[in-house]
Amino acid sequence: MWTGCLTALVTPFRGGEIDRGALAALVEAQIAGGVQGLVPAGSTGEAATLTHDEHIALVREVVKLAKGRVPVIAGAGSNSTAEAVRLTRAAEEAGAAGALLISPYYNRPTQDGIYHHYASVAEATKLPLVVYNIPGRTASNILPATIARLSQIPNVVGVKEASGSLAQVLEVIATSAPDFAVYSGDDILTLPIMAAGGKGVIAVTSNLVPRLMVDLTEALLRGDLARGRGLMHELLPLMQAMGLEVNPIPVKTALALMGRCTEEFRLPLTCMATAARERLEQVLREYDLL
């Protein structure tokens, strides 16, 4: 399965529409930077404010732009199982290599409900599926026992873990199927999760510095912890800057400051507050990104 740095791709807008020119440039920059995969239409891609038609069109466009050079793992989640099935089937038809599905949000299903949600999507597609556990956004935590149960479904191949609990990550790695992949869902936890047996990160920071994030994950995959620690410390201020406001506001603002896209969000997301923006600019200068 996929390993290393997979980029949670930003969705650029211009005049209220997806900016295909900027999107093409972002995809090329990521591939040139050596990333091992692209993940469009996720939280970083502002999927929550895309229409379903836009969502499907975005995935199709990224698959087309990637031209088979890297796998595209399409964001396809929803709090409605039927909608998740529709988006996943559309990703499959578009030629995506896999799908990333956020755990159902707002509904707050039981662990059994979460299991059957993913099992239903898995039954409806041949795509490899990655579960996305981010309780801070969904209001429910997928427990290790549920992930272990899901790992027995042949095309449920991994989990993007953003629970923030290293104890939970360790339990997931220990109890899931041997070939089940655990990916860090928080850039700052890339080192400990991969050192514990994780296979990579679905990263925000790689939108800005793909090569450095690739170097980090490649060092950790080959067991070079000294190199990994050094790169992690080098990247830490930039990773922390990505949390100055809710994702994806800082990363998209950074890309706009770098001239890669417009500083355009869809409500309820708004532009950064002045103090946070000034701090972000300072960090970007420290990395020679401005």
The model's pLDDT over 224-269, given as tens digits with 9 standing for 90+, comes to 999 999 999 999 999 999 999 999 999 999 999 999 999 999 999 9
**What span, in angstroms and rounded, lies between the C-alpha atoms of 159 and 256?**
30
Q: Give the CATH number, domain containing residue 96.
A: 3.20.20.70
Please give the single-letter amino acid code of residue 239. Answer: M
Tokens of 7: 């980029």
**What span, in angstroms and rounded, lies between the C-alpha atoms of 176 and 157?**
10
Within-domain flag for 73:
yes
Residue numbers of the domain that contains 180: 4-225
Within-domain flag for 138:
yes
Within-domain flag for 267:
no
8 A C-beta contact, residue 100 and residue 94: no
**What span, in angstroms and rounded, lies between the C-alpha atoms of 128 and 118?**
12
Question: What integer is the mean pLDDT of 269-274?
Answer: 97
Q: How many domains does the chain have?
A: 1
Within-domain flag for 287:
no
8 A C-beta contact, residue 220 and residue 182: no
* Cα 213 to the center of its chain, rounded Å: 13
50-103 per-position pLDDT tens digit: 999 999 999 999 999 999 999 999 999 999 999 999 999 999 999 999 999 999
Query: Is the pLDDT score of 274 beyond 90?
Result: yes
Q: Nearest to residue 157, comparing CAs of 203, 90, 100?
A: 100
Question: What integer is the mean pLDDT of 272-285?
Answer: 98
Within-domain flag for 257:
no
Per the document, the length of the chain is 290
Q: Return contacts of 107-110, CB within 8 angstroms, 24+ apart.
A: 107/79, 108/139, 108/140, 109/140
**What span, in angstroms and rounded, lies between the C-alpha atoms of 198 and 42?**
20
Query: Is the pLDDT score of 1 beyond 90?
Result: no
Query: Is the pLDDT score of 162 beyond 90?
Result: yes
Mention every residue, 6+ apart, whose C-beta is less than 8 A from residue 51.
Answer: none
Within-domain flag for 284:
no
**What span, in angstroms and rounded, lies between the C-alpha atoms of 164 and 153?**
25
**What span, in angstroms and rounded, lies between the C-alpha atoms of 184 and 191?**
9
Residue with tokens 């170097």: 215
Which amino acids are annotated catalytic? 132, 160
Within-domain flag for 233:
no
Within-domain flag for 24:
yes
Q: Nearest to residue 5, comparing CAs of 239, 281, 165, 259?
A: 239
